[in-house]
Amino acid sequence: MRRGLERAVIGRRVDGVVVTGKRTVRRQSPDDFVTALSGRKLSEAGRHGKFLLVGLDDGATLVAHLRMSGQLLLTSPASPLPAHTHVRIGLDDGTELRFVDPRTFGELFVAAGHGPSGLPVELAALGVDPVRERLTPARLARLLAGRRTSLKAALLDQHLIAGIGNLYADEILHRARLRPDRAAGSLDADESRRLARSIRAVLERAVELRGSSLRDARYVDLAGELGDYQRRHAVYGRAGEPCRRCGTPVERARLAGRSAHFCPSCQR
């Protein structure tokens, strides 16, 4: 999504903003949001964890989080408006950026300042983004040291590592050959190395393949196209099917309030 924004909207100027949804813009008033965005030039496309960051020419940042069901779509303003369109941002090349979100968990806001990390202060609590920065085995081991939580819960904790959701946590742990219910603080050096490598490998490959679109087809790119990474899933959504590594049926369990998919034979 960030790459799509970089290609399609950077350099464009905002020339009309309409907020119709009641919940999408909730950290500030819709009027303040419209004012902060109107007339601004979009100068860069960034991301930290699951947050998209579009830099504005006055130093502010348009921040977007899609949560479960959000979509950002770039279309002609004349194309039919999908149900659950909550925000429309007109651009000076005659296109329109739309935020569509049936479950309304997603959000947009304009962040005025930057913290010491260069990120908007609203995002200061997020952990390291392992695609933007190198997450070495040693650093990962430090993050996990002493934690009694499960590995799965640790990977999902955005304050430790930013950007891993339920699906990718399962894929990462399978690749690392680690059980999701292992205690996070129990890894030896080789296991930390495998986990660090798997985090990077899975996320980078998923980005290359433009993400995972599940059966509900909620995740699509700016052009509305499906991703391709779901075809590579080794465990997620494959309960009862053979493990791609060893053939043992994939198990599905409940852990940290989430579904966890794993191979009981080759993940230890």
CB atoms within 10 A of CB 223: 10
Q: Which residues bind DNA (CB under 7 A)?
A: 23, 49-50, 65, 67-68, 83-84, 102-105, 146-150, 153, 156, 158, 165-167, 215-216, 256-259
Please choose, from the candidates 203, 206, 105, the residue with its C-alpha nearest in 3D space to the C-alpha of residue 155. 203
- Minimum CB distance to DNA, residue 41 (Å): 28
- Minimum CB distance to DNA, residue 50 (Å): 4
- Minimum CB distance to DNA, residue 91 (Å): 26
* DSSP structure string for 122-173: GGTT--B-TTTS---HHHHHHHHTT--SBHHHHHH-TTTBSS--HHHHHHHH
CB nearer to DNA: give 214 or 266: 214
> Residues 6 or more apart from 208 whose CB is under 8 A from it?
none
- Minimum CB distance to DNA, residue 164 (Å): 8
CB nearer to DNA: give 16 or 185: 185
Q: Which backbone phi and psi does 195 adopt, to 5 degrees?
A: -70, -45
CB nearer to DNA: give 8 or 126: 126
Task: Specify the length of the chain in residues.
Answer: 268
CB nearer to DNA: give 41 or 147: 147
CB atoms within 10 A of CB 56: 20
- Minimum CB distance to DNA, residue 119 (Å): 14
CB nearer to DNA: give 71 or 90: 71
- Tell me the three state secondary structure of residue 191: helix
